[in-house]
Amino acid sequence: FSATGQLWGNPLYQWEYMRQDGYRWWVKRMRKILELVDLVRLDHFRGFEAYWAVPAFSETAVNGVWVKGPGIDFFNTVRRELGKLPVIAEDLGEITEGVEELRCKVGLKGMKILQFAFDGNPDNPYLPYNVYPDSITYTGTHDNDTSLGWYSNLEDKSKRIVEKYLGCSGSNFLERFLRLAFGSPSKLCIIPFQDVLGLGSDHRMNTPGTDSGNWKWRYTPELLTKDKIELIAELTSVYGRSPKSFTVLNYGQVS
């Protein structure tokens, strides 16, 4: 997202100290969050394998070094305390074989972002036919433009690749894109609410590398119209993504 890296200014964890007390701070934090939600996403999962350490007072993130993270020992310890972890691994960015090996050892689902799929490479790992079932498909994340905004800002060549794959024209792009996500092999599909509502770039949640105007978007009830409710209800039913306690009648009458 940034040629000079992202400089957050966060202090580094003292992993050796944390290991000595059984990662107590992490265990308490994970236990609490799992009282509040059903599924947790570990942002920057790759940092558990190795993380980018930048000297204090650096003006960019360019002059850093890779430092080994706590690895499998961390997850084994947390699982002994909490049991099976309902966790998503945010495995985006510079992902090495070591990061992928750690994710597989821990048994966590990785993320597949549809907006990353259309570079013309048939081996692109984000294309739905290359996606493994033990994953989670997103149209985009909080760091991406909305899907409608992303599509609108594509160069003509890239836009043609998307339209050819979806079999669509610009007028019905978003519905086809949502169908592609819902119909992916992934066990779980997550759609940002801006995409449910069909919103453009003005409603983007976050722009990496910037420090203003982010995380200010708010939903207002009038945005969720009947046709949007009916479409999501239909896709949820048609692609078998309804939980057992959820019933959809006539593609929109939800009970």
Q: Kindly state whether residues 122 and 206 are assigned to the same domain.
A: yes
Say if residue 187's pLDDT is above 60.
Answer: yes
Please check whether residue 250 lies inside any domain of the structure. Answer: no
What torsion, rounded to 10 degrees, do the Cα atoms 10, 15, 19, 21 define?
-50
Please check whether residue 241 lies inside any domain of the structure. Answer: no
Q: Kindly state whether residues 30 and 65 are assigned to the same domain.
A: yes
* Residue 50: predicted pLDDT: 96
* Residue 197: predicted pLDDT: 98
Q: Kindly state whether residues 191 and 156 are assigned to the same domain.
A: yes
Residue recorded with tokens 């009916």: 230
Whether residue 98 contacts residue 50, with contact meaning beta carbons closer than 8 Å, is answered with: yes
| 10 pLDDT tier (thresholds 50, 70, 90) | confident
* Residue 237: predicted pLDDT: 93
Q: Kindly state whether residues 202 and 95 are assigned to the same domain.
A: no
Please check whether residue 26 lies inside any domain of the structure. Answer: yes
Under DSSP, the state recorded for 95 is -
Set 49, 90, 91, 163: catalytic member: 90
Which residue, among 40, 96, 30, 28, has the nearest Cα to 68 in the 3D structure?
96
| 90 classed as catalytic | yes
Per the prediction, the chain carries an average pLDDT of 92
Please check whether residue 209 lies inside any domain of the structure. Answer: yes
Q: Kindly state whether residues 157 and 68 are assigned to the same domain.
A: no
Q: Kindly state whether residues 142 and 202 are assigned to the same domain.
A: yes
| 143 classed as catalytic | yes
Please check whether residue 252 lies inside any domain of the structure. Answer: no
Q: Kindly state whether residues 4 and 62 are assigned to the same domain.
A: yes
| 211 pLDDT tier (thresholds 50, 70, 90) | confident
Whether residue 70 contacts residue 15, with contact meaning beta carbons closer than 8 Å, is answered with: yes
* Residue 209: predicted pLDDT: 79
* Residue 121: predicted pLDDT: 96
| 3 pLDDT tier (thresholds 50, 70, 90) | confident
Last residue of a domain, one of 66, 83, 106: 106
Lowest mean pLDDT among 103-112, 192-201, 228-237, 245-254: 245-254
Set 43, 101, 119, 227: catalytic member: 43
Q: Kindly state whether residues 84 and 114 are assigned to the same domain.
A: no
What is the pairing mode between strands 87-89 and 40-42? parallel
* pLDDT above 90 coverage of the chain, percent: 84
pTM of this structure: 0.88
Set 100, 134, 143, 234: catalytic member: 143
Last residue of a domain, one of 52, 79, 106: 106
Please check whether residue 237 lies inside any domain of the structure. Answer: no
Q: Kindly state whether residues 35 and 21 are assigned to the same domain.
A: yes
Please give the average per-residue pLDDT across 228-242, as a whole number: 95
| 249 pLDDT tier (thresholds 50, 70, 90) | very low
Please check whether residue 229 lies inside any domain of the structure. Answer: no
Q: Which residues pair with 135 in a beta bridge?
A: 110
* pLDDT above 70 coverage of the chain, percent: 95
CA-based diameter of the chain, in Å?
A: 59
Other residues' Cβ atoms within 10 Å of the Cβ of residue 233:
19
Q: How many domains does the chain have?
A: 2
Say if residue 252's pLDDT is above 50.
Answer: no
| 1 pLDDT tier (thresholds 50, 70, 90) | low
Domain enclosing residue 117, as ranges: 109-224
Please check whether residue 183 lies inside any domain of the structure. Answer: yes
Q: What is the pLDDT of residues 105-160, one digit of tens each?
A: 999 999 999 999 999 999 999 999 999 999 999 999 999 999 999 999 999 999 99
Q: Kindly state whether residues 62 and 166 are assigned to the same domain.
A: no
Please give the average per-residue pLDDT across 50-68, as a whole number: 92
Q: Kindly state whether residues 116 and 219 are assigned to the same domain.
A: yes
Please give the average per-residue pLDDT across 229-253, as a whole number: 73
* Residue 168: predicted pLDDT: 92
* Residue 170: predicted pLDDT: 81
* Residue 69: predicted pLDDT: 98
Q: Kindly state whether residues 167 and 213 are assigned to the same domain.
A: yes
Last residue of a domain, one of 74, 106, 138: 106
